[in-house]
Structure 1
């Protein structure tokens, strides 16, 4: 049996302990006098002890039922214990306790004992009342607790839309552990009798307390403030929940307090019916899906279709003799819901005023934004909408050079002057990390020194890169605002939509950082700290500023945008995405241009099924996102542990750690790895709170060079073709496994089995290999693991596309459209004419975006000078797609005549602009 330290999650611990208890009690029941009976008895005793600490936080089976089972064991009633434990384990596994009462007595009858929620039809499950649990925080004795639960039970009515059970804990700390441990909890009732300290000592549970933060600050609180403080702390870690405060204090005392997620305060005596109704109403507010509900209702209406959608109501399919298989595959509802905004009855995505508008407002609440907009063309379109809405021709934009190609095309459309920022390279794994804050500050200070800061409009970074590097968003924003107080931030969080619903992850999201900074900038303490720092930095040189954690002025404007590929990490149909806005100047400065940009890029015929899936996906994450994200992290962590501890897997594979993917100077916490076979699990809260960069635990990058296969071959020929395992990101010697909210423990187990089989096959192959075959294998491994070309930085824009030599911004739009005239372009071969041209002294300048896919960011952009380092890297690329490069022709570049003419044209333009500026 695994020890507690082997588990990353208390949920996995609970599940495995119940399964182990079922096996041990069954064995003991079969033969209580067996020679192993003593060892089994000790094992069961230990299991009961470990479970007793956990079960207090769950409504099923409940503390009383658990204690009865335990006493039965102490009285050696092994058959009764075995029966009850089997029923509990089965109910927890199938989810039966969520649908009905599960009797645990041996002589009880449970007709649906073998019913498994997973094998039920979706239609049957949709008819059941959703189940949740309510956490009541009060220090009650057993009699008082029974009285409380009975009062809540008496309030139930057949017409209630949901069913819930009560969990009672005594202390503030227990409440925090409960909401961070029990994903069924949707509401908290805080009563006057709660105390401060928990009696729980299990390290795996108390680890959850650190995620709540601020505990050191509450030790001095008076007991009457425990309740309000608990509401505030829960708002920090699970803001989607509802809290209800029962208090004996006066209205005047409560009115001035920060009550966090508290929806209502009940005074003096408890009105159980009113409390019951408020609990249901609060959950209903999150459960409602205005657009999905409207679409369902529309699909039920008898309608005569006289508009431009033959597929509407499925008519063009049902009448067909040749495509009925399409209707059979998709089912009727998807076609019954097909309609157009112009046909009436529903809302318009372009001018929402009904259910779509309401659905977007609910999404804004869920993701912590001020405004949220749906998109049905993917995050590529979202990125271009935000860039076009905010950036004017000639504005300077600082852009992560490794960002998705949609941003680069957005710069072309907007006519931006682009300053490309280089990420730190990971040459040994042929991948890039992220842009150090020092580099961002350095570029801003250079622009400031040249008098160009007023033209700087936006900083654009990818938060959670494809490989899982996550920024300290709050720190980046505050330090950049200290240099440019009105800087706009666009955070591409395409792969990070799930992060809002994990307490550790949430602190590194754009919307959370924006809300935190808005609050902080209004405080007196911040204003004083800013004044003090300004005195210290007076006449400071650039190096001092780069080495200082800068404080933004109190009048700085918080202007943050985030784009989410909802379909990538949450539940949504393909291309379902969202734009989240937290911009203090949106209403006065951006709203009109944003509307125009949205109109420019959004189809007038959006897919209503995608919009409905965004609405339902929002409902899901508000009600069970915490659970799903927690399980997602667990799956990835268990994968790390399994690979790192398996003797045979370590021979050929290596899980890349934070230490491998983030240089030491960017890991202030000193955390090297999330799991170490000798030291066990690392508490990731410290590094996520402190470090400049952290590694997203849900992504597991596996170095596979030790197998002798490059990443693309391992992905295609081994994982996909042979085992049916799909991934989409590789480097020269790595593959990336991304868990998601749908990943199961079975999926992880299958992957580990496959990797073990691959390792065994390699062992057999090498055992039978000749000396020459073994040398060939060792050479391939060396080429993949050691002889790797260095990753190139952004070279520079050609002088024909630059404003001056002082700073590095370039006119990507002019280069892009210059290439439209074929006379300006030529093709050069990588292994021939490109090299010859560079050796002759000519500057070779790309006329196209050159984008290896995946991951989808350009290594060359129009107007960029091709360097020898870039050329060597292109030769070493091993991906199947390189957008913009033609194998039959080569690299598309500008002719020397076109470049000479561009230099003259650019010089004339700059001279004219200078003359206008003088006037």
Structure 2
């Protein structure tokens, strides 16, 4: 039997244990031989023991039924046991327990067994009442527990929009584990009788209690504070939940405590109906979708359309003789909901006052922001809105050089002086990592020394990167604010929207970090630490500052923005995105400019279906985001384990670990891999809490150079064309598999089958290969795995587009628009004239963005000097898609005359050139 740490989550462990128990109990009924019988008995005992650790935290089948199953086994009632276990396993798999009572007696009839949830049509599933569970925390005996459950059940009414069952646990520790194990829990009732310690194995508990603050914090609590403290701790791990505190303490005593997610305090009373109504009301508040509901109601109204959009109400389709197939494919509702009207119960995205405004407020609550704005044309537009709202011409912006191209274009539009930051390279896999904090601090200190810190406006970083590298967001913000206390942060979280709904991931999101810093900066302890550090650092040099974990002043301003592609990682139609704001100066300084930028980039005819999907996507993650993200992580973890432990796959593939993608000195926890064949799963919490960078477990980067195919060929010719598997990202010798909240274990199983089939085909081909064919294969592998060109750093802006060679920021806008003049541009062939010019010592300057796919970010921007390293990298690229490059003409560059004219017109630049000579 596998131990608990052989599984990445309790949910997967539970599912597998019940399936194994079903198989073993069924085998008992088939008259096994004595030796097999003994083995089955041993297996079933171990399975029961394993499940006994998990089942107390779930309402179905419940501990009463679970204990009954164990008695059936002990008494040799194998037929009854097999029947009941089969029913339980089926109900857990199909979700049938969410809709009806599941009888477990062998002579019982489950009339609706064939109507399990997965087999119902969407309309029937939509009509069913959603199910959830409530957690009651009280140290009661079996009789009192039954009384509690019965009272809760009695309060349910036929008109209630939801149904729920109760789980009862005795202690604060059990309650914290329950909300981490059981994704069905939506509300917690904390009663005065709870105790602190669980009777469960303390080693197992420690792994989960870390997420709520740690064992030391829990052990130091006072008994009278157990209830309020539990409400506070649950807010750390699952802030979307509702808590209700039943207490005997006075109003005055409770008022001064941090009650976290507590919605209502009941004073020493057993008013179960009032409690029931509050529970229903709390879940209903999260279930509410103002705009989606308004759109559904609008679609039902009989209207006469005398405005734009012939497709509205589907009229242009139903009257057509030629496009009926479109109507049949999409169905009528999407057209009934199509309109350009903002009245009739709807709202305007540009000036929201009704359901869109309310939907955005609900999204702000869900994602922990102060303001949230919907966008219907992707995060590319969100990025430009934020930059235009905050950056003025001439402001200096520190930018992650390998960020998404929308940021580079945003710099052009805003007229920013761009200071590019280099990520650490991963030459072995032809990809970049992320920007070290030391590099950011170094650049800020240089700008400070040059007297330019007042012009520094924003730091722009990608979190997480396409390849899954995640910053220590709170630490980056703290140390940068210690140097520049009003610095604005734009975190591009296009691929990270899901992170809010997992306690491990949440701590590294922009909004969570901003909220933590707001609280921290207000504390007396922070003020004392700041003053103490200032005394120690007085008169020190930059090297000392770079080596020190800097503490910002208490008056530092928290100004964070996060842009998220909801459609990429959560439920939304394509191009559905959100901007999250947590800026202490938003109301006074930014709001009007933000509104203008939003109007500039947002369509006056936004797609209502996208807005509705953002509204529904928010509802989903508030109610089941925790479950879905947990399952997403499980899927990726099982993929890691399957590939890592398969002997055939190991010959040609390698799953890249944190140790492969993050240098040792950035991994303070020492964790190199989430899974080790000998030790099992590593607890991710340690590295996510400590390390400079961590690896998003939901992304699996697979090195495929050992197959002899480069990443792009493996993606297109093998995975897509042959097996129908779609992926986005490749490098020269890797492919990236991204799981999402829709990924199933079956999808993972299919991928593993495909990889095994590919490995077998390579084996067979090499078995039959001639010596020359084998030599050719080995050379291709060597070229892909060893003979890789170093990734080039950002060279520099040409003197014509920069004012200072110390800090290096450049005027990308001037370079971009100078390229509009054909007379000032020329083309050089990368296979000939460009190399010759560089060898002759000429300065060649790019006139356009050059963006190869992969990797998908600019390796040249307008105004950047072309280095020999960049040319070598371009020549080594074997991708077919390079945006900005004309194979028929070559690389677009500025003429010497155009550059010299600009240099001559800039006295500062001329002086720099003279000094250089």
8 Å contact kept, 1:244–1:266: yes
8 Å contact kept, 2:299–2:333: yes
User: Within 1, Cα distance between the matches of 2:415 and 2:846?
Assistant: 18
User: Within 2, Cα distance between the matches of 1:817 and 1:660?
Assistant: 41
After superposition, residues 566-715 of structure 1 pair within 5 angstroms as 566-715=566-715
8 Å contact kept, 2:431–2:855: no
Give the C-alpha shift of residue 882 in structure 1: 1.0
User: Within 1, Cα distance between the matches of 2:749 and 2:906?
Assistant: 60
User: Within 2, Cα distance between the matches of 1:178 and 1:9?
Assistant: 13
Give the C-alpha shift of residue 205 in structure 1: 5.5
After superposition, residues 696-845 of structure 1 pair within 5 angstroms as 696-845=696-845
8 Å contact kept, 1:177–1:206: no
User: Within 1, Cα distance between the matches of 2:370 and 2:38?
Assistant: 62
8 Å contact kept, 2:848–2:893: yes
SS in 2 for 1:216: helix
8 Å contact kept, 1:307–1:343: no
8 Å contact kept, 1:363–1:372: yes
SS in 1 for 2:279: helix
Q: What do residues 864-902 of structure 1 show as CA deviations (whole Å, max 9, x unaligned)?
A: 000000001111123332111111111110011111112
Give the C-alpha shift of residue 53 in structure 1: 1.4
User: Within 1, Cα distance between the matches of 2:347 and 2:143?
Assistant: 54
SS in 2 for 1:218: helix
Residue 298 of structure 1 corresponds to 298
After superposition, residues 89-104 of structure 1 pair within 5 angstroms as 89-104=89-104
Q: What do residues 618-671 of structure 1 show as CA deviations (whole Å, max 9, x unaligned)?
A: 000000000000000111111111111111111111000000000011111111
When the two chains are superposed, the root-mean-square deviation of aligned CA atoms in Å is 1.2
Residue 229 of structure 1 corresponds to 229
Give the C-alpha shift of residue 203 in structure 1: 5.3
8 Å contact kept, 1:653–1:706: yes
Residue 531 of structure 2 corresponds to 531
8 Å contact kept, 2:904–2:910: no
Q: What do residues 701-754 of structure 1 show as CA deviations (whole Å, max 9, x unaligned)?
A: 000011111000111111111111100100000000000000000011111111
User: Within 2, Cα distance between the matches of 1:120 and 1:34?
Assistant: 44
Q: Does 1:389 align with 2:386?
A: no
8 Å contact kept, 1:803–1:910: no
Q: Does 1:490 align with 2:490?
A: yes
- Larger mean Cα displacement after TM superposition, 301-310 or 114-123: 114-123
Give the C-alpha shift of residue 772 in structure 1: 0.9
Give the C-alpha shift of residue 836 in structure 1: 1.4
Q: What do residues 182-230 of structure 1 show as CA deviations (whole Å, max 9, x unaligned)?
A: 0000000000111111111185565222222243123132211111110
User: Within 2, Cα distance between the matches of 1:247 and 1:202?
Assistant: 28
Residue 27 of structure 1 corresponds to 27
User: Within 1, Cα distance between the matches of 2:186 and 2:131?
Assistant: 10
In structure 1, stretches of 5+ residues that fail to align are 912-919
8 Å contact kept, 2:848–2:884: yes
SS in 1 for 2:865: coil
User: Within 2, Cα distance between the matches of 1:344 and 1:602?
Assistant: 22
User: Within 2, Cα distance between the matches of 1:906 and 1:745?
Assistant: 62
Residue 917 of structure 1 corresponds to none
Q: Does 1:358 align with 2:383?
A: no
8 Å contact kept, 2:800–2:909: no
Give the C-alpha shift of residue 119 in structure 1: 2.3
Residue 183 of structure 1 corresponds to 183
Q: 1:345 to 1:907 in 2, by over 3 A?
A: farther
Give the C-alpha shift of residue 910 in structure 1: 10
After superposition, residues 135-534 of structure 1 pair within 5 angstroms as 135-201=135-201, 206-342=206-342, 344-534=344-534
In structure 2, stretches of 5+ residues that fail to align are 912-917
Q: Does 1:62 align with 2:62?
A: yes
8 Å contact kept, 1:341–1:605: no
User: Within 2, Cα distance between the matches of 1:451 and 1:680?
Assistant: 53
Q: What do residues 383-413 of structure 1 show as CA deviations (whole Å, max 9, x unaligned)?
A: 0000000000000000000000000000000
TM-score normalised by structure 1 residue count: 0.98
Residue 111 of structure 2 corresponds to 111
8 Å contact kept, 1:10–1:205: no
SS in 1 for 2:24: helix
User: Within 1, Cα distance between the matches of 2:280 and 2:906?
Assistant: 66
Residue 45 of structure 2 corresponds to 45
SS in 1 for 2:557: coil
User: Within 2, Cα distance between the matches of 1:260 and 1:443?
Assistant: 39
SS in 2 for 1:30: coil
User: Within 2, Cα distance between the matches of 1:248 and 1:673?
Assistant: 48
Give the C-alpha shift of residue 855 in structure 1: 4.1
- Larger mean Cα displacement after TM superposition, 647-656 or 899-908: 899-908
User: Within 2, Cα distance between the matches of 1:752 and 1:204?
Assistant: 31
Q: Does 1:563 align with 2:566?
A: no
Residue 915 of structure 2 corresponds to none
Q: 1:133 to 1:463 in 2, by over 3 A?
A: same
Aligned length: 911
Give the C-alpha shift of residue 36 in structure 1: 1.1
SS in 2 for 1:458: strand
8 Å contact kept, 1:466–1:855: no
8 Å contact kept, 1:377–1:577: yes
Q: 1:345 to 1:854 in 2, by over 3 A?
A: farther
Give the C-alpha shift of residue 33 in structure 1: 5.3
Q: Does 1:18 align with 2:13?
A: no
8 Å contact kept, 1:299–1:337: yes
TM-score normalised by structure 2 residue count: 0.98
User: Within 2, Cα distance between the matches of 1:200 and 1:642?
Assistant: 30
Give the C-alpha shift of residue 37 in structure 1: 1.0
- Larger mean Cα displacement after TM superposition, 333-342 or 631-640: 333-342
Give the C-alpha shift of residue 672 in structure 1: 0.7
Q: 1:217 to 1:203 in 2, by over 3 A?
A: closer
User: Within 1, Cα distance between the matches of 2:528 and 2:87?
Assistant: 61
Q: 1:385 to 1:834 in 2, by over 3 A?
A: same
Residue 121 of structure 1 corresponds to 121
8 Å contact kept, 1:728–1:854: no
